Amino acid sequence: MGRIFNANRIASMTTSIFATMSKMAFDYNATNLGQGFPDFDGPTWIMEAAFDAMKSGKNQYAPSPGIMSLRKAVKDYHKKYYDLDWNENEIVVTAGATEALYSTIQAFIEQGDEVVIFEPFYDSYLADIILAGGQPICVTLHKPNFDFVKEELEAAISKKTKMIILNTPHNPTGKLFSKEELEFIANLAIKNDLLVVSDEVYEFLTFDGATHIPIATIEGMKKRTITISSTGKTFGMTGWKIGYAIANELLSTAIQKVHQWTTFAVNTPGQHAMAHAISMLESYLPEFRKTYKEKRDIIYKELKKTNFKPHLPLGSYFIMVDLPDGKFNDDVDAATNLVREHGVATIPPSVFYLKSDEGKTMLRLCFAKQNETIIEGIAKMGKI
């Protein structure tokens, strides 16, 4: 067959680094501190709620935007934790945050639109922007604190900019955007009449008293912000793929249109179980946070004993480390060597950058792993 059938817009797309590194972890029987998912199970009571839903006949299509009790549960926790008032029509339940991001970007970005993203970025932003025909414009979160330079953000905005994508708590750096940073971004969004997509999937994973601030809470931002989150992170069940987008009705209606023709609806029993899980957040969160804080402290302490220098994260379940001086050519060399020769899988973060070379000097590790797995993986890194 001489004919090339692939659409041009997928020409730059390769297998994701997460899938690549998980496959290598499997092939080399390595400790997997790469792909972001817990290697322990989520709560049994959530599984039981799903089974109860199945047994009581909740097995046919859900309404396309999501079952009412889940949308109500999302609405209620946004009121309780952030004092944000939404109505159920402003919430669209999606197949994970991944689909929420895809449907949102498809709904608003078209050929030639520019989208400002902070690098290192979560990889699906780039793919979604390209699939929509948009143009990604990167602003670097610079080492060591992963702050952005205000002038660089201002310079990234042009007449063609339509959207800024934000992720706080941030994957892969563990940064929490401060109120001052969010206000600066909000001012620019308002001044230039831009949409802001705020990916808050790690909203409840914050440490050391740091607070997560949704940008929608900043004055003037609620009507131009699309907030995205995922029950996969909060309840440690990434495989269930239940996420949502929240935005004022004009925007949520547009997102719902794409969602309708992408997945139509998300699996019904899982939605019932997650509606119940969200209603239990208050009693669930203290233990959840304690567990992850302990893991964050273990990985940091163990890394301090090695030649890799950790950047203490205030949120998410990731930690960035600097490569030891003079041992590797770059991050890809380090990640390849570690998985092949030392049996530990990590993520080389340079794939999350378009502009800066800073990613080549680091690795990302995931600490959503059993304590023994973390200790074992870092001990292997300690041999370098």
The length of the chain is 384
Which is closer to ligand GLN, CB of 36 or CB of 377? 36
**Residue with Cβ nearer ligand PMP (49 or 347):** 347
How far is 137 from 119, CA to CA, in rounded Å?
9
Q: Report the helix count and the strand count for the chain, using DSSP H and E.
A: 13, 12
d(CA 35, CA 206): 20
Applying CB under 6 A, among 20, 31, 32, 171 the residue interacting with ligand GLN is 171
> Which among ligand PMP, ligand GLN, none contacts residue 232 (Cβ within 5 to 8 A by kind)?
ligand PMP
Q: Within positions 17 to 56, which residues make up the interface with ligand GLN, using CB under 6 A? A: 18, 35-36
Between 90 and 199, name the residue whose CB sits nearer to ligand PMP: 199
**Segment contacting ligand PMP by CB under 6 A, of 24-32, 90-98, 211-219, 369-377:** 90-98
Nearer to ligand PMP, 342 or 345 (CB): 345
**Shortest CA distance to 269 belongs to which of 40, 59, 127?**
59
Q: What is the DSSP string of 221-263?
A: -GGGEEEEEEHHHHTT-GGG-EEEEE--HHHHHHHHHHHHHHT
Q: Pick one of ligand PMP, ligand GLN, none as the site partner of residue 243 (Cβ within 5 to 8 A by kind).
A: ligand PMP
Instruction: HSE, CB side, 13 Å, CA atoms: give it for residue 39.
Output: 15
User: Which one of 38, 174, 214, 232 is in contact with ligand PMP (CB under 6 A)?
Assistant: 232
Per rule CB under 6 A, count of chain residues that contact ligand GLN: 5
Here the tokens at position 297 are 């402290």
Contacting residues for 204 by C-beta, under 8 A, at least 6 apart: 212, 233, 234, 281, 285, 288, 289
Residues 9-48 as x/- pattern, contact with ligand PMP by CB under 6 A? ---------------------------x------------
In the list ligand GLN, ligand PMP, none, the entry touching 121 (Cβ below 5 to 8 angstroms by class) is: none
Secondary structure element (H or E) that encloses residue 25, with its range: helix 17-27
Instruction: State the minimum distance, in angstroms, from the CB of residue 238 to ligand PMP.
Output: 5
User: Would you say 128 or 380 has its CB closer to ligand PMP?
Assistant: 128
CA distance 90 to 67: 13
The residue whose Cβ lies closest to ligand PMP is: 96
Distance, CA of 265 to CA of 260 (rounded, Å):
7
Partner touching 167 among ligand PMP, ligand GLN, none, CB below 5 to 8 Å by kind: ligand PMP
Q: Binding to ligand PMP (CB under 6 A): which residues in 93-122?
A: 96-98, 122
CA distance readout (Å), 1 to 4, 5, 260: 8, 10, 35
Reference 129, options 118, 117, 139, 140; nearest CA is 117
Contacted by 16, from ligand GLN, ligand PMP, none: CB < 5 to 8 Å by type:
ligand GLN
Using CB under 6 A, which of the segments 82-90, 105-113, 132-140, 230-238 binds ligand PMP? 230-238
Strands 242-246 vs 161-167: parallel, antiparallel or unpaired: unpaired
Mark 233-252 with x for binding to ligand PMP (rule: CB under 6 A) and - for no binding.
-----x--x-x---------
Q: Which does 199 bind (CB under 5 to 8 A by kind): ligand PMP, ligand GLN, none?
A: ligand PMP
Helix (H) or strand (E) holding 162: strand 161-167
Would you give the DSSP letter of residue 352? Answer: G
Here the tokens at position 321 are 């480390």
CB nearer to ligand PMP: give 78 or 241.
Answer: 241
Mask: binding to ligand GLN, 127-166, rule CB under 6 A, as x and -?
A: ----------------------------------------
Distance (Å, rounded) from C-alpha 290 to C-alpha 304?
21
Residues that bind ligand PMP (CB under 6 A): 36, 96-98, 122, 167, 171, 199, 201, 230, 232, 238, 241, 243
> Residues in the site for ligand GLN, rule: CB under 6 A?
16, 18, 35-36, 171
